[in-house]
Structure 1
């Protein structure tokens, strides 16, 4: 069975025009993710899903496969990632491939490296999970029990009652998806119309590696960290 790395890179991003081709540390965001997929050594195919011919040509030059172009109904702002993954699965299955799982690697995570991909896949298989999602630890100040709301100029606990646990050591350890930088889903789960399924394992990444670029400011920050050698 085939393990497919899928890199989604549509052409019509709004917040950062042509975001997937935007330069970061002298290389495009697409380039960084292509390298992570191709150098991981654990995926059988590295496929680019795009609606854009320029992005498709760039992807091919980086060593990615572009066996299809994404239809327009999956290229808009409202397109779901589930739909994009299902489309890839359907296209490859139609071509005779038997897919174990799809490893989604979004170009907006330029600090996700090949070793993150390898470790994620190892954990996914070790746990025989239906899906794996990369996560980052939630800072203790953002744990829900510490949230407050303002009314008439005064603050009160968001969930009512008292202030609750206040020290980092007392608070529950929580995680949040970090983009996600890595999402692995079995083909059977996608066929059922689901993105995660019932058995989900998390792969924890540090806060810096979890940077997910949505804004020009985040792109400038990532570019600075790469150019100064703070991130390699």
Structure 2
């Protein structure tokens, strides 16, 4: 069985009630649920939450919420791997054994169903343990600057002060959208960022982590731009 698991706890502090806050007319989590449904690849779409209101919203958009997450997995220190392992164990015990799982964040309004399907195919065609989304940094990280206490500037890698941009290796970061794996991997090897994983690149214009009010505003602007394109 292939299962999508969408972690969505209720205790977001920087953006209160973030996961169900209205984003362009719909609760933010609705976009992730709808992308998972439209992909057609999942047998079950499960939302892992500790919050009854989030559970009710998730069910209204077509997801299942067969359990409420325990308090021990609902604080600021709960890891994605622990939440995923708990959900996979619960589903395997109470419903049906899970072969493949995909963690989809509730804050991924730009995720497309085709991304989910293509990344799953990439995982199946490889010997990797994970396949997850990445995006490239817009500027060379070798030229990154740091600021001192009084705003003074220095380079992290001053040896690249004169290196041409085209001669610097391109760098990538976790796009924070989804993470495909076989079901036992989350418990056995929670280290996603390793040579045991393969990356699924996404274009930068469809990637925005949403953790702060500034992130939210940028995502709103991005969505408006996409609607006009």
Tell me the TM-score normalised to structure 1 length: 0.88
Alignment check: 8 A CA contact 2:32 2:108 kept: yes
**In structure 1, distance between residues paired with 2:152 and 2:37:** 54
The answer to which of 116-125 and 220-229 deviates more is 220-229
Say yes or no: does 1:170 pair with 2:167: yes
**In structure 1, C-alpha distance between the alignment counterparts of 2:151 and 2:74, rounded to whole Å:** 44
Secondary structure of 2:85's aligned partner: helix
- Is the CA contact 1:101–1:186 (under 8 Å) kept in the aligned structure 2? yes
Partner of 2:94: 95
Superposed, which structure 2 residues align to 1:32-51 within 5 Å?
32-51=31-50
Confirm or deny: 8 A CA contact 2:81 2:187 kept in the other structure: no
Q: Determine the structure 2 residue equivalent to 1:207.
A: 204
| Unmatched runs of 5 consecutive residues or more in structure 1 | none
Change (3 A) 1:231 1:97: farther
Correspondences of 1:49-68 after superposition (within 5 Å): 49-68=48-67
In structure 2, stretches of 5+ residues that fail to align are none
Taking a change above 3 Å as real, the CA distance of residues 102 and 22 of structure 1, as seen in their structure-2 partners, is same
Distance across 1 between alignment mates of 2:186 and 2:225: 41
Matched, 1:181 2:196: no
In the alignment, is the contact (CA less than 8 A) between 1:22 and 1:29 conserved in 2?
yes
Shifted more, 217-226 versus 156-165: the winner is 156-165
Q: Give secondary structure in 1 for the equivalent of 2:102.
A: strand
* SS class of match (1:99): coil
State how far apart, in whole Å, the 2-side matches of 1:229 and 1:153 are.
36
Higher helix share: 2
Question: How far, CA to CA, are the matches of 1:119 and 1:109 in structure 2?
Answer: 17
Q: Distance in 2 between matches of 1:17 and 1:54?
A: 13
| Conserved? CA contact 2:143–2:157, under 8 Å | no
RMSD: 2.3
Task: Tell me the CA shift for residue 186 of structure 1.
Answer: 1.8
Deviation at 1:133, TM superposition (A): 1.4
Q: CA deviation at 1:185?
A: 2.2
Q: How does 1:2-17 map to 2 (within 5 A)?
A: 2-17=1-16
| Distance in structure 1 (CA, Å) of the matches to 2:72 and 2:163 | 47
Q: Secondary structure at the match of 2:117?
A: helix
Aligned length: 227
Structure 2 distance, partners of 1:228, 1:162, is 35
